Structure 1
Amino acid sequence: MSDTIIHWGIVGTGRIARRFAQGLAHVPAAQLDAVWSRRAEPAAAFTQEFGGKVCASFAELLASGIDALYIATHQDSHADYASAALEAGLHVLCEKPATINQAQLERVLAAARHAQRLFMEAMKPPFYPLYRALRAHLARDPIGQVGLVRAGCSVANVPADHPSFSFEHAGGALLDIGIYEMFLAVDWLGAPLDVQTFGRLGATGVDTFASLNSQHEHGVSQLFCGLDLHGKGDALLMAPGGHVTIRENWWNPAHATIRYTDGRIVELDEPFEGGGLNYETAHFCELIRAGERESPLMPHSHSVQMIAMADAARAALGLRFKGE
C-alpha cells in the first residue's frame, strides 16, 4: 500500500495552490491529475507548469477520477467546496482556515463522517521536521506541562487589493494569520475556555489587528495578528522545567532553543525542503493509504477549538460576515 499512487485535484490556482503543487513534487507516490478554477486562463497556465488537466467545471473536477482534493480558494468558499467533495466520495485537504466559523465546520465534519472520508485542515507547522523533532525531544527530556504560549505575526506590507482585506471573501488578520497562532495555543494548551480580545477593524470592515489573551485547559495563551503593523515573530512555550523558543518564522519552523531550569541549553536545527507544504501532504497520503478518517497530528478537535477561538475574537470586535 505504501506505493499506491494518490491522485490529486486542486480547486483554485492562486499562490497557495502553486506552493502545494510545487510541494507535491517532493511527495512520493502522489501526482496532480486535475485542476479547476473559475478563470480558465490561469488554470491553463497552471497545468502547463505543474501538469494535470483543466476541468471545465467543479463538477467535472469531482468526477475526474481523483482520490483527494486540495482546496486552495478564498476561505468564504471552503465549506461549500469541502462538503461537495466529501459527498462525491473524495478525501479533502482544505487550506486554513477550514471554514469561516464553527457552524460551517460542524457541517463539513458531519459530511466527512457520513461519507467516511478523510478531512483535514491544512495547518502546516505540526508536520515540519523541526516541530516533530521538538515533540520527540520533549517526550525524552521533558520540561513539564506547557503553561503559557506566546506567539504572533503582523504584516504591514500586504497590498491593499489582497484578499486579506476583502470583507466579501471573509478576510482579516484573525482568519488569515491568527489561525496559525490559535493552532499553537490549542496544540500545547488544549481547548480554549475563555477568550479576551482587543483589536480594531479597518476601512474594508475586516480586522486589521487583534490581541488575544485566552485561558485554556492547561494554561494561558498570548497571541497577536495584524495587517497594519509589522512584526514577524517567534514563539515561546513556557513550562515548569524550562522554556522553548521557536525562532521566526515559527510557522515555518526550522530552529528551536530549549532552555532547562538546570542550566542546560539544547539547540534543534531541522531544515525543511519543498517549501514545507509537502510534509502535510505526505502525511495526508499516508492516512489515505492506511484507511484513516482523521489525522492524529491535526485532529478535527483542533480545528473546532481553533475556529471557536476565532469566532469568540471576531464577536468581541463586532465582526460578522455575510450570512452569519
Structure 2
Amino acid sequence: MFNVATIGTSFITDEFLKALAQVEDIRCTAMYTRVQAHAQTLAERHGVSRIYTDLDEMLASDIDIVYIASPNALHAQHAEKALRAGKHVICEKPFTLTTAQAEQLFQLAESQERFLFEAIVTQHMPNYHAIKKLLGQVGKIKVVQSNFSQYSSRYAQYLSGSVPNVFSPQWGGGALADIGIYCLHFIVGLFNEPKEVHYFPNRGYNGIDTSGCGILRYPDFIASFACAKDSRSECITQIQGDAGCITLHGEPSRCPRFIFQERDGTVHEEYTLAQAKNVMVHELREFTRILKENDSAAHAALKQESLAVMRTFEALRAHGNVPWPNDD
C-alpha cells in the first residue's frame, strides 16, 4: 500500500482524492497546507487523518508519494523538496515553469531512485490510446486542429480587478498554461515535437493570455490549436489525412468519444470506450502500476513526452511573449 500526501487544497486536489479512492493499493494519509483551516473540510471529506502546516515535518513522515497541486510557480520547488526527502512525486500540469527545471527534477529523481510523474490525464485515456492505434488508417497527415475553450468560473473575478492565480503572471497562469497544455499533450504525444511554433495570445489587462491560438509546424503538415478561458466553444479535435479523418468530440483532456471517417465521408466507426467518470483514475492506475512493478521503461516514455511538451510549451510562450514568473 502506497501512502500519499498532498500539497494544495484547490478543487483539483478534491478531484484527485476522489479518483484515489477508486484505485487499489494507494491511499492518502496526509495533507500539507499553510493554513490548517483550508484543508480541514477536505481532510474530513476524504478521511485523511493528518494535516501538516510544516512541509518539512510532513516530508519526514511515513509517506511514499507526494501529489503537488500548488500554484504553478511553486511546482518545481515543492517537487525538489519531496524528491530530496526520498519521495516519489506526482506533479500537476503545467509540470514546471521551464524546461531546465523539468530536466533538473528528472535528474534529481534518477539520482534518488524515485519516480517523477506529470499528472496529465490525456495520455492515459483509453480513447486516446485507440486514436494512436488508428492513425495509420488516416493516411498521410495533412492538418491537425484542436480547440479547448471554456469560460472560466474565475474570469468575472479577474475582470473585477482581483486577479486569481490562474490569471496571474506571477503564479504562472494563463490560457496556454492552464488548458492549452492539454492540446499540446494531445498533439505532441501523437506526433512528437514540431519543428517550428507560433503563439498568438489575446491579452488581459495585466498582459496574461486569456485566450490564444497556436501553430505547430511539422515537416509534412500543420497543427493548430485554440485555448480560451475568456469564452467558450464546442471542443473539437480533428486529425485529417489523405485517407480519412478522426474527429474527437469533447475536451482533448478527457477524450470522451471520437469517430473515424473514410475519405469519402463514410463513418467507419464511432468509438466511445468505457472510461472512468473521474478521468484522473486512469493516470493513477498507471502510476500505481509503474511503482508496483518498478517499470522504468514506462516511466522513461512518460518522462520523454513531458520534456517534449515542456520544450514546445516554452517555445510557444516565448513567441507569444506571455508574461511569466521571474521575467525581466
Q: TM-score, normalised by structure 1?
A: 0.91
Tell me how far 1:220 sits from its aligned partner: 2.3
Structure 2 counterpart of 1:237, one-letter code: I
What are the superposed Cα offsets for residues 145-174 of structure 1, whole Å, 9 maximum, x if unpaired?
Answer: 544321022233432243211122110011
SS of 1:318 mapped into structure 2: coil
Tell me how far 1:272 sits from its aligned partner: 2.5
User: Comparing 276-285 with 100-109, which one deviates more in the overlay?
Assistant: 100-109
Report the equivalent of 2:31: 35
Tell me how far 1:23 sits from its aligned partner: 0.5
Q: 1:267 to 1:311 in 2, by over 3 A?
A: same
Structure 2 counterpart of 1:66, one-letter code: I
d(CA) in 2 for partners of 1:95, 1:155:
19
Report the equivalent of 1:277: 280
Does the CA-based 8 Å contact 1:200-1:317 persist in structure 2? no
d(CA) in 1 for partners of 2:309, 2:124:
17
Does the CA-based 8 Å contact 1:121-1:298 persist in structure 2? no
Report the equivalent of 2:77: 80
1:154 paired with 2:138, answer: no
**For this pair of structures, how many residues does the alignment match?**
318
d(CA) in 1 for partners of 2:320, 2:130:
37
Q: TM-score, normalised by structure 2?
A: 0.90
What are the superposed Cα offsets for residues 280-316 of structure 1, whole Å, 9 maximum, x if unpaired?
Answer: 0110010001113464696222212212222222222
Does the CA-based 8 Å contact 2:169-2:323 persist in structure 1? no
RMSD of Structure 2 on Structure 1 (CA):
2.1
d(CA) in 1 for partners of 2:7, 2:316:
29
Report the equivalent of 2:316: 313
1:130 paired with 2:162, answer: no
d(CA) in 2 for partners of 1:147, 1:29:
44
Q: 1:147 to 1:303 in 2, by over 3 A?
A: farther
Consecutive unaligned residues of structure 2, counting only runs of 5 or more, are: none
Structure 2 counterpart of 1:86, one-letter code: L
What are the superposed Cα offsets for residues 75-122 of structure 1, whole Å, 9 maximum, x if unpaired?
Answer: 100011111111211111110010012122122112112112111111
User: Comparing 108-117 with 75-84, which one deviates more in the overlay?
Assistant: 108-117
Report the equivalent of 1:51: 47
Q: 1:119 to 1:218 in 2, by over 3 A?
A: farther
Report the equivalent of 1:143: 138
Does the CA-based 8 Å contact 1:233-1:248 persist in structure 2? yes
Structure 1 counterpart of 2:261, one-letter code: R
Does the CA-based 8 Å contact 2:147-2:226 persist in structure 1? yes
Tell me how far 1:134 sits from its aligned partner: 3.4
Report the equivalent of 2:11: 15
User: Comparing 12-21 with 53-62, which one deviates more in the overlay?
Assistant: 53-62
Q: 1:19 to 1:294 in 2, by over 3 A?
A: farther
1:288 to 287, 291, 295: 291
Q: Which runs of 4+ in 1 moved over 6 A?
A: none
Q: 1:133 to 1:322 in 2, by over 3 A?
A: closer
d(CA) in 2 for partners of 1:294, 1:39:
39
d(CA) in 1 for partners of 2:183, 2:40:
35
Q: 1:284 to 1:156 in 2, by over 3 A?
A: same
d(CA) in 1 for partners of 2:28, 2:189:
31
d(CA) in 2 for partners of 1:59, 1:129:
38
d(CA) in 2 for partners of 1:294, 1:38:
37
Does the CA-based 8 Å contact 2:35-2:53 persist in structure 1? no
1:301 paired with 2:304, answer: yes
Structure 1 counterpart of 2:263, one-letter code: T
Report the equivalent of 2:104: 107
Report the equivalent of 1:323: 326
Q: How does 1:202-281 map to 2 (within 5 A)?
A: 202-216=204-218, 219-261=221-263, 263-281=266-284
Tell me how far 1:182 sits from its aligned partner: 0.7
Q: 1:13 to 1:120 in 2, by over 3 A?
A: same
1:63 paired with 2:63, answer: no
What are the superposed Cα offsets for residues 198-234 of structure 1, whole Å, 9 maximum, x if unpaired?
Answer: 2232112211122111113663210111222322411
Consecutive unaligned residues of structure 1, counting only runs of 5 or more, are: none
Does the CA-based 8 Å contact 1:23-1:274 persist in structure 2? no
d(CA) in 2 for partners of 1:294, 1:49:
36
Does the CA-based 8 Å contact 1:95-1:123 persist in structure 2? yes
